[in-house]
Structure 1
Amino acid sequence: MIRTTTWLASTLLVMASGYSIADDETYFRGWQYKPEVVQDNVDTFNKVRNANVDYATVTGDYPALMEKSLIAKDKLDILYANPPTAVRFYEAGWLMPVNELDKFEDIKKDIYPNVLDAWTYDGKLLGLSYFLSVRGLVAVNKLKLKELGLDESHYPKNWDEFYDHVLALHNKGVKDVYLPHWFNEFYGISWAFIWEVLNRGEYLIDPKTKKPNLKSSGVAAETLRDWKALWKSGAVPEEVLSYTESGIVDGFASGRYLYSAQAAYNIAYFNNPQFSKMAGNVSFLPYQGQSWGLLDSALYLATNRDRNKKQETQTRDFWSWYGYKNHDDKFFVAQRWMNESMLFSAYKPVMESAETQKAMKGFLASESDYQNLVDLYAQTPNPNGVWKVLWAEEFNSWLRKRLSKFLLDDQPVDETLADMRAQIEKLNKKYGI
């Protein structure tokens, strides 16, 4: 039986059965991505290590719910996090850094340097590798592309060209040209704005001083103007602002749209005939001088809550086994995610293996897409400035609402940028930065 109960439901089940929660349990709580795979991995660990790891998924705003649990000192040992959440939880004093593991030096050597930098804060490696991906690459429905008499020679090279291209097609009467990444989740519309500013060559805030970098003549303003033009043209569905990620994934998988900003791992989904009407015909805009999207990644974090000796040993063992190498010295979990879901890993031995190359080619529409994806990945920026700061999660939550308001209420670009600057300054003052 696949265990996909929420944390609360699993706790109530334990209480109802009369079973008292064991003192030796390690508690692992994840978000809702392929929980059946996670449960199978956990079951394998429990069997081969004679261990007692309790896994359940959490429904809702995952970072906020995890923060509430940590504040309440709930039983929580292993969890997921994106980099800005990891920074916030570290600053709150809730995490055990990877530096405390016996295999720390080996782990460092196996991680790509740019990822090691992205996940290191205050000299501490905050977590182990769950996945990496390019979020914000522009997926292309090649069936619709061909129907329109277009081919790869017509691919836009940057965001400016892309919006001109989309509007030109829309003005010619072409329907459903673009499904943007403007959905209503913490990694939706706000992340789309962050990466477009990065791709165009600037930061929202100065990485060193944390002061806002949002000029009326800068690329942030240019991005907002492009968004407003796209929105007012009617080229995108208004309901996208209320979607979850599954909405834009299923929307594009329907074969209706020509382009859509997506996470790279969804290319595998779109090329799977079980889920997509255009399987084998989904590619993406390659790197042609401008990056597309940002480096989306997640880590396995370990908390530093009080545990007895057995719990502590088991938690460290599971963290290392699940997030690094298993009992056979293999990258078991990371390689499985790569093979089955095209989730990239931070570990060089995983990404550079023949097994990974074979798996990736099976997910892609053409042989050339393999090298194109590798090249795109190599050029994808990490938003260290706006993510390596204590208030990153608070600003992201505010930004998501503010950008939706900007579009829905047709608000001026300058006013929106002024509000962003004021919010950043307010947060810097709040945290003494």
Structure 2
Amino acid sequence: MRQRMERFLASRRAVLQGAAGLAATTMLARPALAAPAEAMTFIGWQFAPQIVEANVATFKKLYDENVNYELVTGDYHPVAETKLMGGQHIDMLYSEEDHIARWNAADWTRDLEGLEGVEAIKAGLYPVCVKSLSLPNGKLAGLPYYAGHDAFIYNEEHLAKAKLEVPDSFDALLDACRKLKKDGISDAPYNSAWGQKWPELSWSIFACWYSEGAKVFDANNDLVPDEAFRKVLELHRSLFKEGLVTADIMTLPDEGVPSYATGQHTFMILHDYDQKVTNDPSMSKAAGKVRNALMPGKTHSTLGWTSAYLMGAKPVDEARVWDLMRFFGGKAKDGQYHVIKRWALEFGLGSGYKEVMADPDVVASFSKWRDLDVTSKQIELATSRDVAKMIWFSEWDLYMMQNVQEYIRGSGSTDELVDKLTAKVAELKKQYQ
């Protein structure tokens, strides 16, 4: 069970962290005779590269095209940025949303406005995905690789034993955790990703902030440490202080998913696609007992994000590269979502397209391990993190996680933490202006 989970999570985690693996560059078979002589260039991170190669081969055959696909191993974004700075020609590349504006501002990528079918594509996406894929000026910068959000799950068997309802507020969540521990049903009822890597505490605490109705940052990208913001911080501190989480929660591997799969925890906030792991009997002792519900806050919102395919600033041929992007990040000329649907069925990755999420095959697959009605509503309520597109945000984000961890452990007051986080925003904005 453990080995199967490790293989699955290692493959899936590469979407977020660019795990090392195969050779740094993979060039596909020579183009067909009718294909253009000049190849398009496409670079991507280390996630199922064999499948990516197969997808490229399908594209080449369907469009009579010529494409060179390069696999980037290691830490994808810094490596890709080094290539771009060095002048390597790239027609299409992957990107997380926090690099979309940065690469566009550096004139390494271009927006997609005015290209054939762009408005129809926008209309078919969830609004939160359009926002995630757009530049600060509102122009669409990329097409969706996959769309994700932080989800709230619970072990229904634990709640039944404790005679508890699913908590719909953070106060109710805290009280439920106390009862579950007191009754001996779960020694550490709450679990989450509280590590310092950017898809861990950063994502999970933003999900809680948005769910409680905190703005976090305003339109000027200044911190808004309101009552909801402070309440979420204090919730995290209480969970840790009262022993309602494991003592090593800040160092759990794989965003805490294997820990939840032991069946020892009741609640978790996790990346939505990891629900597939928690309900897979070959990987989880909690399988069949895990259900998803809306985030337990005043607004029930959550953090939503969309990874992207971007177009290089100087494509070898705009129309050809646009065909490549739509094949991977949308619907091909034969009317099929070749790539996106495969990610959904094989790995449980959500799509930014409403049509894909409503596809009978996807519905049948996803319904085996989560309530899709809840998922659909959660996506509609999700909030995109616009501030992540600011050049200085990643530095503040790491600072925030480091200081929030210390605060959770008992260091300083809420006011002192808020003052630190606010001052850091001002410092970085001045530094990067």
Tell me which of the two structures has the higher relative contact order, counting C-alpha pairs closer than 8 angstroms and 6 or more residues apart: 1
Q: State TM-score, norm by structure 2.
A: 0.83
Does the Cα contact within 8 Å between 1:200 and 1:290 map onto a contact in 2?
A: yes
Any idea what SS the aligned residue of 1:175 has?
coil
Could you tell me how far 1:352 is from its partner in structure 2? 3.0
Distance 1:405 1:144 in 2: 31
Could you tell me how far 1:157 is from its partner in structure 2? 0.6
Does the Cα contact within 8 Å between 1:138 and 1:292 map onto a contact in 2?
A: no
| Residue identity in the other structure for 1:378 | E
Does the Cα contact within 8 Å between 2:340 and 2:351 map onto a contact in 1?
A: yes
Q: Give the aligned CA root-mean-square deviation in angstroms.
A: 2.9
Could you tell me how far 1:408 is from its partner in structure 2? 4.3
| Residue identity in the other structure for 1:250 | P
Does the Cα contact within 8 Å between 1:7 and 1:57 map onto a contact in 2?
A: no
Picking from 43, 46, 57, the partner of 2:57 is 43
Could you tell me how far 1:290 is from its partner in structure 2? 3.5
Picking from 256, 259, 266, the partner of 1:251 is 259
Alignment of 1:117 onto 2:128: no
Residues 24-423 of structure 1: pairs in structure 2 closer than 5 A = 24-30=39-45, 32-48=46-62, 49-60=64-75, 62-99=76-113, 101-121=115-135, 122-135=137-150, 137-146=151-160, 148-150=161-163, 154-173=165-184, 174-206=186-218, 208-215=219-226, 218-244=227-253, 246-286=254-294, 290-291=299-300, 293-304=302-313, 306=314, 308-309=316-317, 314-364=320-370, 369-384=371-386, 386-408=387-409, 410-423=411-424
Q: Name 1:17's counterpart in structure 2.
A: none
Does the Cα contact within 8 Å between 2:91 and 2:316 map onto a contact in 1?
A: no
Higher deviation after alignment, 396-405 or 322-331: 396-405
Any idea what SS the aligned residue of 1:265 has?
helix
Distance 1:172 1:265 in 2: 31
Does the Cα contact within 8 Å between 2:241 and 2:409 map onto a contact in 1?
A: no
Percent sequence identity is 23
Q: Structure 1 runs of 4+ off > 6 angstroms?
A: none
Distance 1:84 1:186 in 2: 11
Deviations 1:324-357 (A, max 9, x none): 1224122221222223333222223222333333
User: 1:76–1:29: structure 2 CA closer, same or farther, 3 Å change rule?
Assistant: farther
Deviations 1:127-181 (A, max 9, x none): 101122221x2221234444x343xx51111222212321343344431311122
Could you tell me how far 1:412 is from its partner in structure 2? 2.3
User: 1:171–1:418: structure 2 CA closer, same or farther, 3 Å change rule?
Assistant: farther
Any idea what SS the aligned residue of 1:269 has?
helix
Distance 1:406 1:123 in 2: 36
Does the Cα contact within 8 Å between 2:129 and 2:306 map onto a contact in 1?
A: no
Does the Cα contact within 8 Å between 1:10 and 1:56 map onto a contact in 2?
A: yes
Distance 1:36 1:65 in 2: 20
Any idea what SS the aligned residue of 1:373 has?
helix
Q: Name 2:15's counterpart in structure 1.
A: none
| Residue identity in the other structure for 1:161 | A
Any idea what SS the aligned residue of 1:132 has?
strand
Could you tell me how far 1:36 is from its partner in structure 2? 4.1
Deviations 1:344-390 (A, max 9, x none): 222232223333332322333xxxx2322222222222233x33434
User: 1:388–1:308: structure 2 CA closer, same or farther, 3 Å change rule?
Assistant: closer
Q: How many residues are paired up?
A: 404
Unaligned runs of 5+ in 1: 15-21
User: 1:373–1:7: structure 2 CA closer, same or farther, 3 Å change rule?
Assistant: closer
| Residue identity in the other structure for 1:193 | I
Could you tell me how far 1:50 is from its partner in structure 2? 4.1
Does the Cα contact within 8 Å between 2:20 and 2:73 map onto a contact in 1?
A: yes
Distance 1:33 1:233 in 2: 39
Q: State TM-score, norm by structure 1.
A: 0.83
Distance 1:299 1:272 in 2: 28
| Residue identity in the other structure for 2:312 | T
Could you tell me how far 1:424 is from its partner in structure 2? 0.8
Any idea what SS the aligned residue of 1:26 has?
strand
Any idea what SS the aligned residue of 2:383 has?
coil
User: 1:179–1:75: structure 2 CA closer, same or farther, 3 Å change rule?
Assistant: farther
Deviations 1:232-260 (A, max 9, x none): 2232223332334x251222122222221
Distance 1:319 1:372 in 2: 30
Distance 1:105 1:417 in 2: 41
User: 1:223–1:96: structure 2 CA closer, same or farther, 3 Å change rule?
Assistant: same
